[in-house]
Structure 1
Amino acid sequence: MTTPQTKSRARAVDLSAAKAVAWLSLTAFFALLVLYFVGIDQGATSVFGDNMYVHEFVHDARHLLGFPCH
């Protein structure tokens, strides 16, 4: 005996302009933050002091993306 199958409907995606602006703004902020840490933060001229921890952490990504660092 087979059981009756119910068809489930996919829920609609909320595409409101306010939500889209919020997501795009947040994404752009994080993208610029990552770009700063990978491409601009040099350790000696760092906003976060003169330590080299951030620079060394993203060192290989810096070379992979073509940013010069030494």
Structure 2
Amino acid sequence: MTTVFAGEPKTVVLDVPGMTCKFCPITVRKALQKVPGVIEAKSDYASKTATVVYDPDKTEVSALTDATANAGYESHARK
């Protein structure tokens, strides 16, 4: 099955400074994966970041940062 996108997928890197242990990235990744429109989410404890590939027609960066905040991890898009 092929996924069809109306627009080009976008990638954003979120800074997630509240990740304090090796299990935090799992929680962050799972929260991001639940957002409709997220294609791929990776999180990294060492850099305290999450990299998200998403469909901009289905979601936006504010929904991603809301998802991490709701999971207990404030985040913001890296400029």
TM-score normalized with structure 2 length? 0.22
By percentage of residues, which structure has more helix?
Answer: 1
TM-score normalized with structure 1 length? 0.24
Rg (Cα) greater in structure: 1
By percentage of residues, which structure has more strand?
Answer: 2
